[in-house]
Chain A
Amino acid sequence: MKVLRTLVQVLFLGGVVALLLRGLAGHTPNTCEYYCPFGGLVALYPLARYKAYACALTELNVALLVSVLVLTVVSKKSFCGWVCPLGTVQEWLGRLGGKLFRRRFRLPKGVDRVLMNLRYVVLIAVPVLTFTVWKFDLGFRAYDPFYILFTWGGHETAAFSFYIVIGVLAAALLIPFFWCRYLCPMGAAMDPLSRAGALRIRRNRDTCTDCGECDKACPHAIPVSRVDEVTARNCTNCLDCIEECPVEGALELSWFGK
Chain B
Amino acid sequence: MKKAVIIPLAIALVILLAFATTNAYRVPTADISFVECDERPTSVATVEFEVSGLKCRGTARTFARQIQDVPGVVSFVAYARTHSAIVEYDPALTDPDAIREAFEEPILHEGKTYEVFKMVSVAGE
Contacts and interface: CB of A to CB of B under 8 A. Distances in A.
Contacts, number: 96
A60 B7 contact: no
A64 interface: yes
Contacts of B29: 52-53, 58
B57 A56 contact: yes
B52 A29 contact: yes
Interface stretch (B8-16, B34-42, B99-107): B8-16
A51 B27 contact: yes
B26 interface: yes
B4 A1 contact: yes
Interface stretch (B17-25, B68-76, B87-95): B17-25
Chain A interface size range: 35 or more
B80 interface: yes
Contacts of B3: 199, 252-254
A78 B7 contact: yes
A82 B14 contact: no
Contacts of A29: 52-53, 55, 83
Contact of A237 (B7, B15, B22, B25): B7
A178 B25 CA distance: 36
Interface of A: 1, 4-5, 8, 29-30, 34, 47, 51-60, 63-64, 66-68, 70-71, 74-75, 78-79, 82-83, 136-137, 199, 237, 239, 242, 252-254
